[in-house]
A = this chain, B = another copy of it.
Amino acid sequence: MFEKIAIIGVGLIGGSIGLAVRKNRLAAKVIGIGRRKVSIDRAIRRSAIDAGTLNLKQGIKGADLIIIATPVDKVEVKIAEVAKHAKEGVIVIDVNSTKQRIVSSAERCLPKDMFFVGTHPIAGSEQAGVFSSDAELFKGSICIITPTLRTDKKVLEKIKSLWKNIGAEVRIMSPKLHDDTVAAISHLPHILAYALCNTVSSKELKMAGTGFKDATRIARSNPRMWEEIFIQNQKSLLKSVTVFQKNLNAFKDDIIKNRRTSLSKRLILAKRKRDVLG
Contact = CB atoms under 8 A, between A and B. Distances in A.
Given A248-B195, A251-B191, A205 B231 contact: no
A132 interface: no
Given A198-B266, A231-B260, A245-B248, A190 B211 contact: yes
Nearest to A186: B211
Contacts of A125: 210
Contact of A234 (B224, B248, B255, B266): B255
Interface string A225-253: 01100110010011011011101101110
A223 B271 contact: yes
A201 B184 contact: yes
Contact of A209 (B123, B209, B215): B123
B255 A194 contact: no
Interface string A201-228: 1101111111111111111110110110
Contact of A214 (B202, B215, B230, B263): B215
Contacts of A245: 245, 248
Contacts of A208: 122, 185, 277
A264 interface: yes
Given A214-B215, A270-B194, A207 B171 contact: yes
A182 interface: yes
Interface string A144-164: 100000000000000000000
Nearest to A215: B189
A276 interface: yes
A275 B209 contact: no
Contacts of A60: none
Given A194-B266, A219-B273, A223-B267, 6 more contacts: A195-B270, A197-B274, A198-B266, A212-B277, A219-B270, A231-B255
